[in-house]
Amino acid sequence: MANSNVETVTSVADRIKLGLAVLVIAAGIVAYSMLDNQPTVARVGIFLAGLVIAAIIAWFSEPGRRTISFGRDSYNEVKRVIWPTRKETTQMTGIVFAFVVAMGAFLWLADKFLEWVIYGVLLGWK
């Protein structure tokens, strides 16, 4: 990750497409806000339509194609993952809970010991 390159949008056409997509999203938000006397279903539909139209506009830009390619590659990678069995998951969850309880008890004991040292021995308040 340290030596990965950051890819920016360099094409003027891609910048226009992405700017238009942002404007369509903003228009959907404004339409949702302005149509407060309309049924909620219609307002949400207009907002979702704006999101869909913006996604379609962004899809035709180079960053949009890279994003779709990244999503496709990620999905293919997830399909290759060997997922743990139910028994393994239950065992690991039990180990995590046991560790959390043990650390909680340890931190509680450390807190009580430091409280005794500071307030009881050093300051003599208790």
68-101 confidence digits (pLDDT tens): 899 999 999 999 999 999 999 999 999 999 999 9
Res. 126 pLDDT band, cuts 50 70 90: low
Q: Distance (Å, rounded) from C-alpha 101 to C-alpha 107?
A: 10
Give me the amino acid identity at 20: L
Which residues contact residue 113 at a Cβ distance below 8 angstroms, ignoring those fewer than 6 apart?
Answer: none
Q: What is the DSSP letter of 45?
A: H
Quick: pLDDT tens for 32-45: 999 989 899 999 99
Residue carrying the six token digits 């307002």: 43
Q: Any idea what the Cα angle at residue 15 is, between residues 64 and 30, rounded to 5°? A: 85
Q: Distance (Å, rounded) from C-alpha 114 to C-alpha 126?
A: 13
pLDDT at 1 over 60: no
Which residues contact residue 31 at a Cβ distance below 8 angstroms, ignoring those fewer than 6 apart?
Answer: 43, 46, 47, 50
